[in-house]
Chain A
Amino acid sequence: MSLLSTRDLTVTYQTQGGPVPAVRGVDLEIDRGEVVGLAGESGCGKSSIAGAILRLHPKTARIGGTILLDGKDVLELPPGKLRALRWTGASIVFQGAMHAMNPVQRIGAQIAEAITTHHQANEREAMVRAGDLLEQVGLPGRRIDDYPHELSGGQKQRVMVATALACSPSLVVADEPTTALDVMVQAQVLKLLTRLQRELGLAMLFITHDLSVLVEVADRLAIMYAGKIVEDGPAQRVFFEPEHPYTKSLAASFPQIGDPRFRRAPTGLGGDPPDPQHIPGGCPFHPRCPEVFEPCPDVVPSLFPAGEGRRAACLLVEGAIASARGGA
């Protein structure tokens, strides 16, 4: 049984200008010890999924569908059980660790807070464990008495990772963990994450817009566009042999140096991601699609099988038109 399983997950924000559907029906599966990458441009809804898993959205957001974490339906849990599940079932490494830590509290205390909240140890033991966790992420244990502003960006991110591991979760959601960092530091943090994932056998949901990172790190890859998954499958194959035109454009934007397949200059994609309140009819990607053809503006493609363990939501996939016609 998979560790995390979402069925038709929807997240809709209520704003002054009306409801904004950020996530419009996502099916995601993550097995124990598996690393799944979730990629897409800004505004495609991927960060909303991270918040939805632990129900961290404000009350004004409507979350629909099912989220099964370790067999429990997160969306149906009463508040007490939800709080107990948070951090122990799954934890999050947030983007922008600069602001994700309480500036007036020592970092050791912030890590220990997670432990004592779940009654896993008393205060003293929790601080000891906090020190151990810091060592695990490559920081000296005595820094538990430091304040967040005394750390560099990369160090802060390491502390976030350490905090995420505090209650030994089965799943760690990394929401753009390297986005705000320098390239060198990015590499360090990535190495750290992969090492820990292997050592501890963690399952990870790695959310980012940087595809090149995911190719190295993820087992499976899912590409999101306009609130839905448009392609998924084994990471290497999705990246190097994309089926969906959007994936092709996205992958082409991250050339791999030395790889002859990218000898051509990277091509960008014209246009902007669609406004969630005005998603184009038919296939949402069709206005920007370089391979658009006749039925695209009218038919909404669902995820068709496109090879071994792969799916893509495009009418160009073999057999898609037939099944779309047959099913519809």
Chain B
Amino acid sequence: MGTRRYILRKLVQAFITLVAILIFNFFLFRVWSPGDPVSFLTRGQGANISEQERQALIEDYGLDKSTWGQFTEYMKDTLMLKLGSSSFYQGEPVMSVFLRFLWPTLLLFGISTLFSMIIGIWLGIRSGWRRGSLFDRTSMIGSLVLYSMPEFWLGMLLLLLFSSTLGWFPVGGRISTNAYELSGFGNAIDVANHLFLPVLTLTLAYIGQFYLVMRSSLLDVLGEDYITTARAKGVSERQVLRHHAVRNALLPTVTLVALSFGYVIGGAITVEVVFSYQGLGLLTYTAILSKDYWLLQGMFLFFTLAVIVFNLIADFTYAYLDPRVREA
């Protein structure tokens, strides 16, 4: 069946891209980076590391082998999720550090993207349907302005307004310092409190992009002949919009949304920094500041893998929506 072949093709492409990324990752952080990977590995533990332990680490990660030998060792290790240890976190394995900071980012990213998409797309549809109206013109201007703002700057503004001026929300962090005193429900409220401004920031930052794309696709579609056919058949305007216009306008939207994942991730990183929100973004920032290359390598891998996965999801969604691609 066409669909199965399409899925297979996309999976193979994703796999090839992944392999290319792994190779690039190796070269970037091992071969080209200044300094000695061994020292980065052991730096975290400072002077507390014995010669034996040091030697064990070298052998464990194959750091004494030739470049090719190191490369094979690296591929093996990466597949087993053995990603080295972080110098900033005193030799803690990168994988373990990563897992600690994962779910706050997932929470932030997931909620923001969801809201952003839903609101942006809804606004875009409404705007495109009533082109030239006051609603259209104001939302267009608003979206353009939001689109032109650096997300972290928006975050700083919101922080200024809602936190230091109005005092409605905490100034940063993921949880309060006395979080361990709170009960389960209290904990949830605490997390939500800290999550609110970052989520608001990211949501507002990306509404513009979804809005503009959806509006433009809808305007394109509304000029098509089959819209006239539907109206001629006596179909109500609402049904024309829902079944014919939007269904087709979603296609380019999905494509463009997929293309922008990489950028949205960048935004999440800077916003976490502004709010000192302990997620993967802040972790990456810390890694930069402390030149923690093993950690950076792991972050690079993760973020890229995330984009590959999102793109796959977008590809499959597109195939679900558009029967024409399944044939090819």
Q: Is B302 an interface residue (CB 8 A)?
A: no
Given contacts A83-B236, A149-B324, contact A102 B228 (CB under 8 A): no
* Given A99-B224, A99-B226, A149-B327: A104 in contact with B322 (beta carbons within 8 A): yes
Q: Is residue B234 within 8 Å, beta carbon to beta carbon, of the partner chain?
A: yes
Which of the 9-residue segments A10-18, A21-29, A85-93, A267-275 touches chain B?
A85-93
User: Is A117 an interface residue when CB atoms closer than 8 A count as contact?
Assistant: yes
Q: In the complex, what residue of chain A is closest to B234 when comparing beta carbons? A: A86
Residues of chain B in range 170-229 having any CB-CB distance to chain A below 8 Å: 224-226, 228-229
Q: Which of A65-104 contact B (CB under 8 A)?
A: 83-88, 91-92, 94, 96, 99-104
Q: Are B233 and A86 in contact (CB under 8 A)?
A: yes
CB-CB contacts of B228-249 with A at 8 A, as 1s and 0s? Answer: 1111111110010001100110
Given contacts A104-B247, A104-B321, A104-B322, are A99 and B232 in contact (CB under 8 A)? no
A114–B244 CA distance with the chains assembled, in angstroms: 13
B327:A114 contact, CB within 8 angstroms? no
Within B281-312, which residues are at the interface with A (CB < 8 Å)?
none
Does A105 make an interface contact (CB < 8 A)?
A: yes
A101–B229 CB distance below 8 A = yes
Contact of A113 among B224, B228, B235 (CB under 8 A): B235
CA distance A101 to B226 in the complex (A): 5
Given A83-B236, A86-B233, A114-B233, A94 and B228 touching (CB < 8 A)?
Answer: yes
A128 interface residue, CB < 8 Å from B?
no
Is B110 located at the chain interface by the 8 A CB criterion? Answer: no
**Nearest-CB residue, chain B, relative to A106:** B323
From the candidates B229, B234, B247, B321, name the one contacting A118 in the complex (CB within 8 A). B234
- Report the minimal beta-carbon distance from B322 to chain A, rounded to whole angstroms: 6
Tell me the complex Cα distance, A318–B67, Å.
101
Residues of A within 8 A of B243 (CB): 102, 105, 113
The 0/1 profile, CB within 8 Å of A marked 1, for residues 57-80 of chain B is 000000000000000000000000
Residues of A within 8 A of B248 (CB): 102-104
Q: Which residues of A contact B229 (CB under 8 A)?
A: 92, 94, 100-102, 163
Contact B234 A103 (CB under 8 A): no
Known: A94-B225, A149-B323. A102 touches B230 (CB 8 A): yes
Instruction: Name the A residues within 8 Å of B234 (CB-CB).
Output: 83-88, 114, 117-118
Q: Known interface pairs A99-B224, A102-B244. Does A147 touch B232 (Cβ–Cβ under 8 Å)? A: no
B247 engages A99 (CB within 8 Å): no
A150 CA to B327 CA in the complex, in Å? 9
Closest chain-A Cβ to B241's Cβ sits at a distance in Å of: 13
**Cβ contacts under 8 Å, B233 to chain A:** 86-87, 91, 113-114, 117, 163
CA distance A101 to B225 in the complex (A): 7
Q: How far in angstroms is the closest Cβ of chain B from A113? A: 6
User: Given A83-B236, A104-B248, A105-B247, are A99 and B225 also a contact pair (CB < 8 Å)?
Assistant: yes
B225 touches A54 (CB 8 A): no
Nearest CB of chain B from residue A96's CB, rounded to whole Å: 7
B244 contacts across to A, CB distance below 8 A:
102, 105
Closest A residue to B231 using CB positions: A56
Q: Which residues of B contact A85 (CB under 8 A)?
A: 234
| Distance, CA A105 to CA B245, complexed state (A) | 11
| Closest B residue, CB atoms, query A103 | B324
Specify which of A86, A100, A105 is in contact with B225 (CB 8 Å cutoff).
A100
- List the A side residues contacting B226 at CB < 8 Å: 99-103
Q: Hey, which chain A residues are within 8 Å of B321, CB to CB?
A: 104
Task: Report B-chain residues with C-beta under 8 Å of the C-beta of A118.
Answer: 234
Contact B235 A104 (CB under 8 A): no
Q: How far is the CA of A57 from the CA of B208 in the complex (A)?
A: 32
Report the bound CA distance from A61 to B232 in whole Å. Answer: 16
CB nearest to B327 among chain A residues = A149
Chain A residue nearest to B248 (CB atoms) is A104
Instruction: Give the most central of B226, B232, B321, B323: most A CB within 10 Å.
Output: B232
**Chain B residues positioned under 8 Å from A103 (CB to CB):** 226, 248, 322-324
Q: Of B232, B236, B247, B251, which one neighbours A102 at CB under 8 angstroms?
A: B247
Cα separation A96 to B231 with both chains bound (whole Å): 17
Residues of chain A contacted by B324 (CB below 8 angstroms): 103-104, 147, 149
For B322, the chain A residues whose CB sits under 8 A away are 103-104
In the bound complex, CA of A56 to CA of B251 (Å)? 26
Question: In the complex, how many angstroms separate the beta carbon of A217 from the nearest chain B beta carbon?
Answer: 22
> Are B232 and A56 in touch, CB under 8 angstroms?
yes
Q: Which of B224, B243, B322, B323 has the most CB of A within 10 A?
A: B323
Complex: how many Å from CA A249 to CA B322? 48
Q: Closest approach, in angstroms, between the C-beta of B230 and any C-beta of chain A?
A: 7
Chain A 3-44 interface 0/1 with B at a Cβ cutoff of 8 Å (1 = within): 000000000000000000000000000000000000000000
CB distance from B318 to the nearest CB of A (A): 11
Q: Which residues of A contact B224 (CB under 8 A)?
A: 99
Residues of chain B within 8 A (CB-CB) of A114 are: 233-234
Most chain B CB atoms below 10 A, which of A54, A96, A103: A103
Cβ distance B251 to chain A, nearest Cβ, rounded Å: 8
Which residues does chain B contribute within 8 Å of A104, judged by CB atoms? Answer: 247-248, 251, 321-324
- Select from chain A the residue with minimum beta-carbon distance to B322: A104
* Least distance between B137 CB and chain A CB atoms (Å): 18
Q: Which of B4-55 contact A (CB under 8 A)?
A: none
In whole angstroms, how far apart are the Cα atoms of A96 and B226 in the complex?
Answer: 10
CB distance from A31 to the nearest CB of B (A): 23
Instruction: Give 14 pairs: A residue, B residue, CB < 8 Å, sorted on A.
Output: A83-B235, A85-B234, A87-B232, A94-B228, A100-B229, A102-B243, A103-B248, A103-B323, A104-B251, A104-B322, A113-B230, A113-B233, A147-B323, A163-B229
Enumerate the 5 nearest inter-chain pairs by beta-carbon distance, A residue then B residue, closest first: A86-B234, A99-B225, A100-B225, A114-B233, A83-B234
Given contacts A83-B234, A99-B225, A149-B323, 16 further A-B contacts (CB under 8 A): A54-B232, A86-B233, A87-B233, A88-B234, A92-B229, A94-B232, A96-B225, A99-B226, A101-B226, A102-B230, A114-B234, A117-B235, A147-B323, A149-B324, A149-B327, A163-B233
